[in-house]
């Protein structure tokens, strides 16, 4: 569109095409419109899945069956039911669901297996969690969100669908205790992470996979991150997306620990490798003559002691050293990429659009070939006054006030639009 703004003839064609793509439908929630881009749409869940299949969304019959088993219409409020069976994002009050085709991409990218543990960050009503559980079975499955009304709806659905093993907690993801919480085989991010939010990767077990949107220096990307070792993370950009960012805590909150299931020999597969190695070392020691662990019977260790040992006791401190391995094999430290100056970015975008718009509609005077066009609309910053000028002090004060006002206004516009 920005290229069309520069070239007037191309811009005219964009204007003609807009009504075709932005056809408004009834409101979903107060003051919101959802626009139709010829997305797959059905009268019920079965028809939606069929339309998605014909569009080539599903890459396996297992994923298709999972979407068919979970009715999307049961996870949205009644006043948004008209948009439930459309392959598009849905927002109504605090109920936010991504489009089913994006969820399908996430499910495929997670490489789900029976029995893996799962964490859903920004879990919402539990639609995606229920789909994932159709593949992973009754394994450890946790979710976190900040909206209680949404979580209540999710818990009622888990009871209705006989999925009591899915546990959701009301907590901000950035308030999680990353050193004491459970480690997961699979993690899905339902909101964009960048900067310090990348620390959520510490909740990923070695060999595990995280899928979700990340803020980068080049915009948001839907990524698959595989943890190869304690400090190495293999990063793959799947496609560009636009998600809301993770909400920062509004006040200082105590850290929340995501709990491990009670330890038994059957649930030991969900525990860290170092923990399992330590337990095996103790049990092996009971067979050795003169070992202090042999003073107690093995059954006592298993039934009365191991269950009270914290699963993260045997973890080694990681410090700040974490490495990203990009698709081309390049390695770089995992820094605070994504902590961009949003106010400055919004201001520069508005200035660019204004400049392009004036070039089209302002009818700038023609400039002979070989001459500098200068600044016909006064958009460029004026040169600084000469040293010693009497107007230097007053002009500088005025510019600082305007700049501050523009930054505040630009940031307000960015936050409102987001």
Considering 83, 98, 104, 133, which one is annotated as catalytic?
98
| DSSP character at residue 73 | G
Distances (CA, A) of 409 to 93, 325, 355, 358: 26, 39, 18, 21
- Nearest-5° angle of CA 260, CA 264, CA 268? 65
Catalytic status, residue 98: yes
Token reading at 237:
């950009």
Distances (CA, A) of 190 to 54, 120, 129, 242: 26, 7, 11, 11
The string of DSSP letters for 174-217 reads: GGB-TTTSPPEEEEEESSBB-GGGGGGGGGEEEEEEEEEEEEET
With residue 235 as reference, give the H or E element that holds it: strand 232-240
Distances (CA, A) of 364 to 6, 356, 369: 12, 11, 15
Query: Alpha-carbon distance 190 to 397, whole Å?
Result: 44
The four Cα atoms 332, 176, 130, 58 give a dihedral, to 10 degrees, of: -10
Residue 151: CA atoms inside 13 Å, Cβ hemisphere, count? 17
With residue 54 as reference, give the H or E element that holds it: helix 45-54
Burial of 242 (0-12, 13-18, 19+ CB in 10 A): exposed
Query: Alpha-carbon distance 153 to 79, whole Å?
Result: 15
Token reading at 28:
């979903």
Catalytic residues: 98
């Amino acid at each position: 569109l920005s290229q069309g703004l520069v070239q007037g003839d191309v811009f005219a064609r964009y204007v003609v095409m807009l009504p075709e793509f932005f056809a408004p439908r009834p409101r979903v929630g107060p003051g919101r419109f959802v626009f139709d881009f010829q997305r797959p749409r059905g009268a019920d869940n079965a028809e939606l899945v069929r339309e998605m299949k014909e569009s080539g969304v599903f890459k396996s019959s297992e994923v298709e069956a999972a979407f068919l088993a979970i009715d999307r219409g049961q996870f949205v409020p009644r006043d948004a039911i008209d948009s439930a069976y459309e392959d598009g994002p849905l927002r109504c009050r605090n109920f936010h669901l991504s489009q089913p085709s994006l969820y399908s991409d996430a499910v495929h990218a997670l490489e789900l297996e029976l029995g893996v543990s799962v964490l859903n960050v920004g879990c919402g009503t539990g639609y995606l969690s229920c789909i994932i559980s159709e593949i992973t079975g009754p394994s450890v499955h946790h979710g976190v969100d900040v909206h209680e009304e949404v979580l209540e709806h999710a818990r009622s659905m888990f009871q209705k669908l006989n999925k009591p093993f899915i546990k959701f907690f009301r907590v901000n993801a950035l308030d999680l205790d990353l050193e004491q919480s459970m480690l997961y085989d699979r993690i899905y991010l339902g909101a964009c992470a960048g900067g310090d939010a990348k620390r959520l990767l510490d909740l990923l077990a070695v060999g595990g996979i995280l899928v979700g949107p990340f803020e980068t220096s080049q915009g948001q990307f839907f990524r698959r991150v595989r943890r190869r070792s304690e400090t190495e993370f293999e990063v793959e950009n799947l496609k560009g997306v636009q998600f809301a960012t993770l909400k920062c805590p509004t006040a200082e909150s105590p850290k929340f620990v995501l709990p491990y299931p009670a330890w038994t020999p059957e649930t030991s597969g969900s525990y860290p490798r170092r923990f399992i190695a330590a337990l095996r070392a103790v049990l092996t020691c009971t067979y050795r003559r003169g070992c202090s662990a042999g003073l107690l019977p093995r059954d006592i260790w298993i039934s009365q002691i191991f269950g009270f040992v914290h699963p993260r006791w045997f973890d080694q401190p990681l410090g700040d050293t974490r490495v990203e391995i990009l698709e081309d094999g390049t390695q770089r430290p995992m820094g605070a990429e994504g902590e961009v100056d949003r106010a400055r970015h919004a201001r520069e975008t508005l200035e660019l659009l204004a400049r392009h718009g004036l070039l089209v509609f302002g009818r700038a005077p023609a400039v002979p070939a070989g001459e500098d066009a200068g600044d016909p609309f006064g958009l460029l910053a004026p040169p600084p006054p000469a040293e010693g000028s009497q107007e230097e002090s007053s002009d500088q004060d005025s510019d600082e006030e305007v700049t501050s006002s523009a930054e505040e206004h630009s940031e307000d516009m960015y936050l409102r639009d987001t």
